[in-house]
Every structure is written in structure tokens, then in C-alpha cells.
Structure 1
Amino acid sequence: MTNPSTARRVVMLVDNGVEGDSRVQKAARSAADAGWDVTLLGCSTTGAEQKWLLDPARVRLLPMGGGQPAQGRGLRARLVERGGLPLRAARLARRPVEHAQVRFWRRVHGDGAWRRLEPGLWTYERVFGPVIDELAPDLIHAHDFRMLGVGARAAQRARAAGRPVKLLWDAHEFLPGAKPRRDNARWLPAHLGYEREYVPYADAVVTVSDTLAELLRTEHHLAELPAVVLNAPATTPAGPVPDLRALCGLEKTTPLLVYAGSATVQRGLGTVVEALPLLTGVHLALVVGDPASAYVRQLRATAGRLGVADRVHAVPYVPHGQVSAFLATADVGLIPIHHWPNHEIALITKFFEYSHAHLPIVVSDVKTMAETVRTTGQGEVFRAQDPADFVRAVRAVLANPHRYRAVYDKPDGPLAGWTWEAQAARLDSIYRRLLSVEAGAR
């Protein structure tokens, strides 16, 4: 590592609390390990700033305050409270109002309509902007779409003051194919306009898959194809790793399927639970952020009605550096996600985590992951939302697991390039190119 006093300053921006975002954590730590002076800014919901080290990177979570309330809710609430409309009718009434808002403001302001449709985005500017200016970075690394505008405006201010700064946008998803994060008609068109307005200010773009890189180049008419930095795991476990089977109370010989990640309907976990009665003696471990969440309770209730409640186990996340080692005692890694535009285009984090755990993978027939599994031979593909076909795929893997695991042991197998160490080197080279810094010269 270079002397910190001579290191170039990098400010990373993310619109979450950092701890649950493995890509952001790995990027900050590896950049700091490579000699960059890294400060990672995220969001605090406690009302107070929080600070800690991702040694040697610094993390600061900034208090967001109340922000802007979502528009449109007042009309629905007033209609329901006055007894003028039942709830469903009120929702339908809200929707024509929201669509009218979108059409009007887009006609008036074009992409800039987000300022009227989603004014809460200014909260990020109000909170992050002054801190970025104070840190005076040489490079701003903006993660995901909300931080793109914040980083672009900070770069504009710095350049206007005569201080050169570069902006790197790290696109985690394809926004036109995203499921809106709020149930209103304004969310997606507002954020699409916001993204389109600020993409031209990025000096370079990186993303998570080749497919997404092509989509971004086409969508935003980029001069060059975005570089791909996979969200692959580091190869060395961080600290002592818990025993997944022990947490589930299972013997080594008990067939165990594992799903690790977000527990939501579109992740396809309902398909897995519905299939369990046909998989005699097979257990399911759900490694999720909140084992007591409403959706996990719903899955358990379904398992109870099907007579397999004793074969469904929910356990909490472990630190991202331990995930692959934690999962390795299972027999099969599951990715049963539904068809959704963003599900079709990426090799998602858990795909790499399962691979480094040397697990055979059973994946639904979403385009990119299904094609990869068929090419490598590391698992089986089933029709999304089809419990019977899921059963077929799982039985095939459990009948001959060594066939699928052998892929990972091949000298020319896929794992060598699927490491964070390889991705960190790629990210470091992008930083050096943007700042015209030779290797070892920092």
C-alpha cells in the first residue's frame, strides 16, 4: 500500500446502510487495500451519523431525516376517510391521477420531470452534497442509479471551482427492467428520467454482467461498452464460519437444499416449498436477512399445510466474507427466481457464492444463468414456477452430485475468473485509467 498522505482520494456513494451490500463493501475495502484513500458514504436511519472502518476504508452513514413524503397518498386517504370511495376504488382513482401527473410533467419538463414526480431524490443531494464537497475527492464512485445524480452534481461543482474530478457510475441493475420499489405510477418514469439526465456526466461506467453492459450501452447511447466487474466472492473466509447443518439440526447425510438471499415472492421460494412433499426426506435451508419476516412466516405456514414444516429451516445471514464457506455443507444451491427483466440478464451474487461453495446449482430458466449452467455443467435448469419440473431437476442432481461438483475442480473451470480478487484488479485498473495513474505510482 502507498503512503496514505500521497494517495488519491476516492469517495464512494451508496443509498443504503452498507452492511447488507457485499459489492459495496468489497469495492471499498479492496480499493483501500490497493492504496486509494477511500471514504464510503451511505445512509443512516438512526438520526445520527455513524462511522466505522472497513479496514482500511472509512465508512460514514449520514442521517437522512424525514425526506419527502410520497405524493398521491393524500388524495386516497381523504377519499377513504370521507367514506366517498371504498379502498379498492380509491386505489383505482389514485392511479388515473398518478398517470396524469406523469404525462403532464413529462410533457413540460422531459427527463427533468423527476423533480416533480419524485422530489424526495433531493434529500440525497441535501445530505450527501456538502459532505462530498468537503472531502474534495479526485474520483467519485457512484453505486446504483440514485447516487448517479448526486455524484454528477458534485463533479460539476468541483469542476466549476477549478478542481478536476472523475465520476465512475457503477450500474447494479437495468432500471427499465426493474420492479418499481413503490406501488405508484410515478416511481419508474421518474427514476428513468433521473438516470437518463445524469448518465452523460459519467466519465466511465461499470456494471455486473456482459448482458447488462450491452443493454446500458444501447439504452444510453454510450461511447464505449461498460466494463464488467462481477460481484464474485473473495476466496478467503473472514473469521470462523458457523455450521449451517448444525443450525438446522441436521446430520451430514440428510439431503439439504439451500437458498441464500432476499426472501420475496418473485424469488420463487413458494415453488420450492410446494415441491417439498415430492422430495421425500429432503430439507430446505433459507438463509435470509430476517428469518421472522412476514413472507418467511407465510412460507412456513404453507409448509405446515403441506405436512413438511419440519423440513423448512430459516437462519440469518452471515458476513459476506463467510457466505460460501457457510453454504458449503449443503447439497444443492437454489435460484428459483421468476421471469422478470432484471432476472434474465445477470449472474447474481448467490450464483457465485454457490459456485465457490462447490454446490451444484438448480436454477430456473432465466436467460443468463440458465445458459451459464448449461454451458458449464454445474447444475440443472427447470421451468420457472413449475414445482414438478423443479422436482425433476433436484432429483437429477441428488442422484449424481459428484458429476456437477467436478466442474469446479477442472483446471480450466470457471472459478478462477469468478473471484473478487480478479474483479478488484479490474476495478483498480479503471481507477488508474480515469486518473492517469500508472500502476505502483500512487
Structure 2
Amino acid sequence: MKVVISRLNLYTMVVIPIFMLFLNNSRVDKTQVDKLDKKAQEIREGKAKLRICHITTAHPCFDIRIFYKECKALADAGYEVYLVARHDKEEVVDGVHIIPLPKVRNRVERMFFLVNKAFEIALKLNADVYHFHDPEFIPKALKLKRLGKRVIYDAHEDVPRQIMSKPYLKGFSREIFSKVFEIYENYAARKFDVVITATPYIRDRFLKLNPNTVDVNNYPLLDEFTSVCDWDKRNNDICYIGGISKGRGIIELIKALEFVDTTLHLAGGFESRELEEEVKKLDGWKKVRYYGFVDRAKVRDILCSVKVGIITLHPEPNHIMALPNKMFEYMAAGLAIVVSNFPLWEEIINKSGCGLSVNPLDPEAIAQKIRYLLENDELARKMGEHGRKWIFENYSWGKESEKLKEVYKNFNSFIEVLA
């Protein structure tokens, strides 16, 4: 039954949206020209701000990239920022107006009901720019374009390659779904005003389709790590913080604990209840301290209490060229790190001198690397210092936020020209 539902999820994301392209009228709403002209005059006279609406139906409201980085950066820059996302109430947090979406029971309900609800709310907000974060919203984003709106697609993942890693798709069906979605996404990307990507690798793919493509990388919020706990006050422990799934290496990591004397501080949500039950039955689980979902303050507390950060994702197509936010946060917090032996990740740790790479599919090899760092305390401390120094010199959200604000400055200038 679970496999059937998962395939239905993919069907709703790939097949139905493509069919809808042929049903919708592509004419632009002529009244939008008059609205833009009026808004342009108000902006010019200082009577109005550019109204921005961020939309997510798949991510949590306080997602690190969406809320803490992008929405807050734009609100701090003086824009009128709204976030349509799953939440329990309407409120303003750090200058961001949160418009709540209701809870849903499953992904199919999310892709049908929640996407439609988000679109209805977005239209009522009558924003100047719509910035959406989930591929399941693409059909509605195209509809916004047909209504004369300006739309930004924020591509967090390389979805066609992500589909190739879905465990419930076997053999040739993966290739079919991946190719069909890529054709559809490529079509849509050409229509949007701007495509923002989370990595240079994804940027290069979309640049071939839309010249208005820019990478806004998921580098850490360094303000959270201006000071960290002294090394000698930390526990001889390790941590993993983030989404918990088989593809992100949770099975191998827990099995690795059987071969090393330490405690794993684990924070994040399990991909499914079945996976959580499976993991908790493993012998290594007794060495785990599990926190569930945590806020940013708790993330910092965990990172400042351990010595080694783990990110051993499986070698799946969507992981190999990824730049995980957690890797950079580990480094900013002064941790030595153990990462999957992907060429891009090995290049980062070799340049920075911050840790070790390992085969993520081998629990004993993972344990060996962890044990080596914990038993060589001075080496691990120096690795943490090197990584922290390298991050502060090279990878900070401050630089990336300037890219984001430049995109919106261009929108602002365009609207002012209309006046």
C-alpha cells in the first residue's frame, strides 16, 4: 500500500501538472498592467514597499533556508514579506508576516488540497513578486505567470536526479518518471522571471534554460556561531542534525555505534514512522540521544557540546554534487567532521583541513573514522579550528544574501521604470 501511495505522489507531481498545461488559457490578465502602473507610482513616491510572497507547501514554516535566511534577509532590507506555509496561527515573526496553511494527513492531500489552498491565499495577497520553493507548486506558479505576476522558482534540489534515488521506483520506471519531470520542469523554468538555486551545480543546469538564474547557496548564518564553547568543555560525543532517512545514512550510522564508544546526539525528523521503528531496534540505538525536531537555539547548543559532526549521505545522484547546510554549520561550530567520500566534499575537507572522508555504506569504516578523531583529541581540535576559520573566510550567508537582495533590487527597478 505504501508503494502505491508513493507512486501516486510522483504521478501527481509529474503527470497531472503536464496535462494541466494544455487545459489552462495562457492569456495575460490585462488589468495587471494598470495595477503595476499604480504600484510603480506609489513606490516612487515612497508610499509603498515591494510586496513579496514566499510560498511553501512541503517545507516547515521555520525552514532554515526559507524563513531564517531568505525571508528575514528581505524583511531586514525593508520589503513587505509574507510567508504562506504550514503553521498553527497567523503572526508576524522578525518582520515576516506568516499566513498559515492547515495541517494535512499525507502527501497526496498536500499535493492536491494544500497546493490549491496556498494558491488561493497567494492571490488574495496580491503580491508584486511570488517566490515559491516546491516543485509541486509549479502548475500554480505558471498560472500566476498567466495572470501577469512576477514569479521566482527557488530550486533547492535537482529533482530529476532526486527521483532516480527513490527506493519505491524500480528499474526503468525511475528513468521514465525522471525524464518526464525534467521535460516539464525545463518547460516551466523558461517561463519564470528568475530561477534561484541552492548550489552552483543546479544553477548550471537551469542557466541553459533561463539566463536569469542565480545560485544563492545554503551557507551558514555565522552570527549564530560568533562564539562557541571551549573544546575542553565539550563531551567526547558526535552529532547528526537534519532529515533522517535511509538515503541520508541513518542505518549505517547507528550500526557504526556498535564499534565505537561514544554518544550520538541526533536531531531531526524521521522520513517515516516505519523507519523510526526499524532504527530504534538496532543495537547501536542505546548510544543515541534523540531530540526530535529542534529550534535554532537547540541546534547551536548541540553543536557546541560535541566534538565531531557526521554527514554520511549515500552516493545518490542528488547527493553527490550537493552542498549540505549542516556540513557548513558543523564547521562554523568548530567541529571536526566525517563526510561521505564524494569528490566535491573531499575537495572541501582537503582545502580546509577540517575532517575525514569515508565510504558511507560501510558502518565499520564510519566507526573507524569516528574513533580515530575521538582518540586523537588534539588533531580533532585543530581540524575544528581549521574548518571554522575556513568557513568564516569563504562561506557565509551574508555574501549569499546580497545575491538574493540584488535579484529583488532588479524587480524594484523594473516596477519604478513603469512609473
TM-score by length of 2: 0.75
The one-letter code of the counterpart of 1:268 is: G
The answer to whether the 8 A contact 1:289-1:317 is kept is: yes
CA separation in 1, counterparts of 2:107 and 2:325?
A: 32
In the TM superposition, what is the alpha-carbon distance from 1:332 to its structure 2 partner? 0.4
The one-letter code of the counterpart of 1:39 is: Y
Segments of 5+ residues of structure 1 without an aligned counterpart are 71-119, 160-164, 244-250
The one-letter code of the counterpart of 2:67 is: Q
CA separation in 1, counterparts of 2:58 and 2:236?
A: 36
- The within-5 A match list for 1:298-309 is 298-303=278-283, 308-309=284-285
The answer to whether structure 1 residue 272 and structure 2 residue 256 are counterparts is no
The answer to whether the 8 A contact 1:362-1:382 is kept is: yes
Segments of 5+ residues of structure 2 without an aligned counterpart are 1-42
Q: More deviation in 189-198 or 139-148?
A: 189-198
The answer to whether the 8 A contact 2:308-2:335 is kept is: yes
The answer to whether the 8 A contact 1:233-1:321 is kept is: no
Q: More deviation in 166-175 or 318-327?
A: 318-327
In the TM superposition, what is the alpha-carbon distance from 1:128 to its structure 2 partner? 2.9
Q: Quick one: which of 50, 53, 68 aligns to 1:11?
A: 53
Match of 1:230 in 2: 217
In the TM superposition, what is the alpha-carbon distance from 1:353 to its structure 2 partner? 1.6
The answer to whether structure 1 residue 30 and structure 2 residue 73 are counterparts is yes
Post-superposition CA distance 1:302-349 (Å, at most 9, x none):
12xxxx554222122321355234312111000111110111111112
The one-letter code of the counterpart of 2:54 is: M
The answer to whether the 8 A contact 2:235-2:306 is kept is: no
The verdict on how the C-alpha distance between 1:404 and 1:64 changes in structure 2, with shifts beyond 3 A counting, is: closer
Match of 1:42 in 2: 85
What secondary structure does 2:403 align onto?
helix
CA separation in 1, counterparts of 2:301 and 2:179?
A: 41
Q: Which has the higher contact order (CA 8 A, sep 6+)?
A: 2
The one-letter code of the counterpart of 1:379 is: G
The answer to whether the 8 A contact 1:383-1:389 is kept is: yes
Q: Quick one: which of 132, 141, 153 aligns to 2:131?
A: 141
CA separation in 2, counterparts of 1:68 and 1:302?
A: 28
CA separation in 1, counterparts of 2:159 and 2:167?
A: 14
What secondary structure does 1:16 align onto?
strand
The verdict on how the C-alpha distance between 1:127 and 1:208 changes in structure 2, with shifts beyond 3 A counting, is: same
- The within-5 A match list for 1:248-287 is 254-279=235-260, 281-287=261-267
In the TM superposition, what is the alpha-carbon distance from 1:64 to its structure 2 partner? 7.6
The answer to whether the 8 A contact 1:132-1:154 is kept is: no
Post-superposition CA distance 1:118-177 (Å, at most 9, x none):
xx85645632333322222211112132233322311321x2xxxxx4222110000111
The verdict on how the C-alpha distance between 1:196 and 1:437 changes in structure 2, with shifts beyond 3 A counting, is: closer
What secondary structure does 1:264 align onto?
coil
Match of 1:106 in 2: none
What secondary structure does 2:405 align onto?
helix
- The within-5 A match list for 1:169-248 is 169-179=153-163, 183=168, 188=178, 191-218=181-208, 221-223=209-211, 226-237=213-224
CA separation in 2, counterparts of 1:168 and 1:374?
A: 35
Post-superposition CA distance 1:5-61 (Å, at most 9, x none):
5211111111235335211112112211111111111246xxxx8412222111112
CA separation in 2, counterparts of 1:5 and 1:148?
A: 32
